[in-house]
Amino acid sequence: MITLEDKIEGEITPLVQELGCEVVRIALFPNRRNKVLQIMIERIDGSSANIDDCQKISKSLSLKLDVMNVITDHYNLEVSSAGIDRPLVKPKDFVRFCHSHVVVKTRVAKFGCKNFKGNLEFASENGIKLRLDVPLQGNENEISFLYEEISSAHIDGNKK
């Protein structure tokens, strides 16, 4: 099923790339009075986007999104850098950040846990393997996940 976020990403990605950046994640958040469309970006070279990147992309996307008219309610557009706690969304993100320290949250508990921290040892098109900071029951210190088991994941910016 194609979500509204997927549709928006498909439409705006070429424009974002023309401006030297890539879309990391798109999320639509309800708010008390207005929805917030958050578009997280980074530079094509993988470095963090700066305020100038965010401003020029925000300005260009405002016009594009108005023409697309896919969000019928009033909303606020927020364009931001992925930052040090960069989310891992697509399989290519996990592959790129192999050997980084990550935080993974699962949809369903595994070994009684839904939150895991550790080193991302392996990533493929199907899933990942973590070497955990804290061993699980039975001293198991590695765990694997299929992508559909993961509700969210991000780089652990607090871990040096």
Q: Are residues 9 and 36 in the same domain?
A: yes
Please state the pTM of the whole predicted model. 0.86
Higher pLDDT, 48 or 34: 48
Q: Are residues 76 and 121 in the same domain?
A: no
For position 160, what pLDDT does the model report? 55
| Within a domain: 86 | no
55-56-61 Cα angle (round to 5): 100
Q: Are residues 26 and 67 in the same domain?
A: yes
- Among 17, 15, 132, smallest CA distance to 67 is for 15
Q: Are residues 49 and 13 in the same domain?
A: yes
The full DSSP string for 118-145 is EEEEEE-SSEEEEEESS--GGG--EEEE
CATH number of 74's domain = 3.30.300.70
Q: Are residues 11 and 76 in the same domain?
A: yes
For position 151, what pLDDT does the model report? 97
Q: Are residues 102 and 61 in the same domain?
A: no
| Within a domain: 36 | yes
Q: Are residues 37 and 59 in the same domain?
A: yes
Higher pLDDT, 147 or 134: 147
The whole-angstrom separation of Cα 92 and Cα 13 is: 16
For position 32, what pLDDT does the model report? 67
| Within a domain: 98 | yes
What are residue 150's DSSP bridge partners? Answer: 106
The band of 158, judged by pLDDT with boundaries at 50, 70 and 90, is confident
- What percent of the chain has pLDDT above 90? 75
The string of pLDDT tens digits covering residues 61-111 is 998 999 988 888 889 999 999 989 999 999 999 999 999 999 999 999 998
- Strand order across the 21-29 sheet: 21-29, 35-43, 75-81
Is it the case that residue 118 has pLDDT exceeding 60? yes
Residue 35 corresponds to which tokens in the numbers above? 């929805």
Q: Can you give the residue range of the structural domain that contains 37?
A: 4-81
The string of pLDDT tens digits covering residues 122-133 is 999 999 999 999
Q: Are residues 75 and 135 in the same domain?
A: no
